[in-house]
Amino acid sequence: MVDYDREAARYDATRGGDARADAAAGAIETLISLAAGGTKIADVGCGTGIVTVRLARPGRSVVGIDRSAGMAAVAAGRVPGRITLGSVTRLPIAGASIDVVTMVWLLHLLDSADVAAAVAEAGRVLRPGGLLITTVGKNDAAYGADDAASIVGPVRARFDGEQTDRLDRVLALGGRHGMTLAAQASFAGLGQGLSPRRWRTRLTRGAMPWTAAAGRERIDAVRAELAKLPDQDRSRPDPVYRLAALRKA
């Protein structure tokens, strides 16, 4: 698990920076327009606030919430006075007071119980007609149809655990709290496409938790297949992330 307090200062630079944040915020905006009102927004799991600040504009009230003090400190530099510490499973927000709740790159980090609690909290704080906007199937985005991902993907599919942010699961949880799918959107993780060499490095370091379950012999075989690919240092296409907007009845 990433130590977000320690990683806060360099977090954005290692995860696509402004380009990825611009893409994410642009996709989120297309969904915010569907909310009833849409002027009070809570960015839950806001991290460094790199997306939060892009959602702030005249006529809106935007608050960012994160449980990491280090990340919240960076976010507070971007959105002064609008960042607070808090847990996704117990939001420091009054009931039925928010038009839009965003949870971007968050649910995949939680176990099943906490995902259920997070969706329930969104349902509690949203006004009727409000939206929960969340990434779904986040970790699937890295395993596209390019030559390198096609080698890694089948092994990952076999040994990775259940994805707690699958769309069907999020929709089922939302349904318990009067929320139904209103729309979907997508955006590219700009600058995050991996070359075969970078895939091999990540597999060697065990950067992805499922590699331990796969075992060293199997991972070595995957690395050998990746080494046969042409253009070892050419980044493959960027991952494409999906957003789902759930509307509260």
pLDDT tens-digit readout, 44-94? 999 999 999 999 999 999 999 999 999 999 999 999 999 999 999 999 999
Domain count, the chain: 1
pLDDT (mean) for 18-22: 92
- Locate 5 and state its tokens: 């307090």
Q: Are 126 and 227 in contact (CB under 8 A)?
A: no
Q: Kindly state the average pLDDT of the residues 118-145.
A: 95
Check residue 119 and give its pLDDT. 98
Which residues, in sequence order, are bridge partners of residue 41?
62, 100
Confidence of residue 5 (pLDDT cuts 50, 70, 90): confident
Residue 15 lies in a domain: yes
Residue 54 in any domain: the answer is yes
In a domain, 128, yes or no: yes
| pLDDT (0 to 100) of residue 1 | 64
**Mean pLDDT score of the chain:** 94
Q: How crowded is residue 199: how many other Cβ atoms within 10 Å of its Cβ?
A: 23
Domain boundaries, position 129: 4-139+162-192+237-248
Does the model's pTM come out above 0.85?
Answer: yes
Is position 33 within any domain?
yes
| Assigned domain for 49 exists | yes
Helix (H, G, I), strand (E, B) or coil at 247: strand
Residue 147 lies in a domain: no
* Amino acid 166: pLDDT: 95
The CATH number of residue 65's host domain is 3.40.50.150
Within-domain flag for 146: no
Q: What six digits make up the tokens of 101?
A: 């709740």
Residues in contact with 35: Cβ distance below 8 Å, sequence separation at least 6, in sequence order: 99, 100, 129, 130, 131, 247
Asked if residue 231 belongs to a domain, the reply is no
Whether 244 has a pLDDT exceeding 90, the answer reads yes
